[in-house]
Every structure is written in C-alpha cells, then in structure tokens.
Amino acid sequence: MIVVFVDVDYFFAQVEEILNPSLRGKPVVVCVFSGRTADSGAVATANYEARRLGVKAGIPIIRAKEIAPSAVFLPMRKGVYEEYSKKVMVILRTVSPRVEVASIDEAYIDISSAVPSFEEGIKLAMKLKERIKEETGLNVTVGVSVNKVFAKVAAESVKPNGFRAIGPDQVEGLIRELDIKEVPGVGPVLASKLESLGIRKLIDIRSTDVSHVSAAIGRAKAYYLLQLANNTYSVPVEERQKKSVARVLTLKTNSRNLDEMRRAVRKALEDAYGKAEGLPTRIGVMAIMEDLDMISRERSLSHGVPMDVATSICMEMIEEILRKDNRRVRRIGVRLSRFVKSKGLDQFLDLK
C-alpha cells in the first residue's frame, strides 16, 4: 500500500492570509466569538507567528489577547474555509478515487493503483503538493508511507509546508526510533501507562507481553500498537461516515426561558441536520449551566426522526433538566447519532 497524507498548514489562518496578503508575517488568530462580550469565546487556530507567542487553539480569546496583544484577531468564517477544503479534496480525487477525508484540513489518499512503485508514488505526491499550491494558494504538508499511520507520522515530523516519505526499506528504522508518544492516537495519559510498562519506543511493544499491554490500555489499542510495531497494520483508506453531529450555541444571556431555548435548539438542529447523513435514531441535548457545569440527556429511538420531532424531543429533555436544576443555562447543544438513510416518504421531509 502507498498512502499519501495531506495536512493543510494552520488552515483557517492561512486562508485569511491568502484572502488578505497584508496579514502575511503578522500573528493571526482566528476565533470563535460567542457574542456575549467583545472578547468572549475561544481561539480556533493561529498561524505560526502567533503560536510562537504562545497562542494555542482552545484558549480563551481574552487570554490570547493578553499573550499576543499585537496579533490580528479575526472571526471564523466557516463557509469560506469549507469552500477551500472542497477545492483541496477535489484535487486529491483526481489522483485516486480512494480518498479518506479525516477532517476539514486533513486527508489520506491511497495511490497504490495509480503508480507502479513507491518511488513513482513519491513523485506523484510531490506534484500533488505543488498542484494544491498552484490552484488554491495553500501550503500543505505531505507524508508518504506504507500505511495511513506512518504517512501521518511522516507529515507531522516536517510541518509546516514540508514533505517526507518513509519507504518500505525505511519502516524498520522508523519503528526502532519512533517515541511511543509520537504515535498517532497515543495521548499523554496513554503514553504514561505505556512508559510504566517500559514501552518508550514503538519497537518496545514487540518485546512486551501483549496480555500485559491489553490489561493496561485495552485490547483494541494494544493490538493497534502491535500491528504497527510488526509493520502489519493495513487498515484501508476509505470514505468515513459521520458517527455523530453536534452543535452548541451560546445564549445571549444566562436564562431559563423556554422560548429562548427552543429558538436556540431549533437553530442548532438546523445546522446539525444540514450535516447529517440520514435521520438520527439517537438524540442528545447538552445544557452548560451558568457555572459552566454541564448536564446532558440522551434518548434512543426505534426509527429515524425528522427535525420537527427532534425539536420536541430535545425540549422535553431540556424541560426535565430545568425541573431538577434551579440554575440558569449559558449554552445549549444538540447531538445527533446512529443515522439511518431515509427511505420512502422520508426522502420528502424537509430536514433543513
């Protein structure tokens, strides 16, 4: 298998730089503003100039402004970024039909059937990187290897705007040298557990009793790492189906007003149903209270339901929350999952 991993560098901020070249060289921070106050909300992403100042995704906007007062702070423009993402994915699909979109700014491409050898695969991947730059203006980091995981490892080691290939004859060296904490899917907590077993490099898995590893981190994760360590990992590149869709909205003020919450639920469901691949058979709500405590409820159904029915179900669960809790609500969220494809008359239902 020859897999190419494409990662668009600091995607949202880079799009803003393309649309406004005067931003280049300046620290740029793209934010999700909640609308409650001028600085309420969180950082979505930042370019490398801003990252060098200490700005990271997820931190409060007010904190980012303290860290980098000279940075340019911009509101997130979801529709614009989605259009750029589509352009990139269209280019990828001209190379191979086997494209797995991992996120709005990442994708895997299986080019095994498009080239006769790994060396030719490297050339194709380099041309792909150049073409994306020419047609969209975006810099991307590209990794090429024998499976999805090692292709991602290759890309992560050369960001931003880098290119690295790890060929079949280099895989054993990678396995011997790769820190376990650098393996995709291994976070700090998991890495700590593995290190307590003496596993610091990926290759250490080979000499550790897999039953001990399974007991510590679970069977699925243990065998995932074992396959990587033995170079037998071969999960195919395939289009992903969305397992769930969620949307959270911030209320204008902390409230217990059901009419206001119904409007928020309706808007959240409109957005969620717009992304859903079918009708949900599981519906959940989240209420983030005034002290930021979160309460959630979920309901499973025997069949998929349209948005009007989902609205009623969500409001029933919210009313249940409010009956048992006297606090005001700050944010309202919905989650749809376990989708089924609409059939028969369902296809005529307006899910937007």
Take residue 127 and report the two structure tokens written for it. Answer: 């041309």
3-state SS record for 221-277: HHHHHHHHHCCCCCCCCCCCCCCEEEEEEEEEEEECCHHHHHHHHHHHHHHHHHHCC
Residue 259's nearest CA partner among 325, 322, 211, 212 is 322
| First-to-final CA distance of the chain | 40
Instruction: Establish whether 106 is a catalytic residue.
Output: yes
Give, in degrees to the nearest 5, the angle at Cα 349 between 304 and 258: 75
Q: What is the DSSP letter of 328?
A: P
* Residue of 66, 106, 172, 320 marked active site: 106
Residue 317: φ, ψ to 5°:
-70, -35
CB atoms closer than 10 angstroms to residue 347: 9
Q: What is the DSSP letter of 60?
A: B
CB 82 within 8 A of CB 103: no
Q: 278-302 as b/e, with b when 16 or more CB fall inside 10 Å? A: bbbbebbbbbbbeeeeebebeeebe
Residue 160 identity? P
Residue 67's nearest CA partner among 80, 51, 79 is 51
DSSP string of 141-185, one letter each residue: EEEEESSHHHHHHHHHTT-SS-EEE--GGGHHHHHHH-BGGGSTT
Catalytic center residues:
106
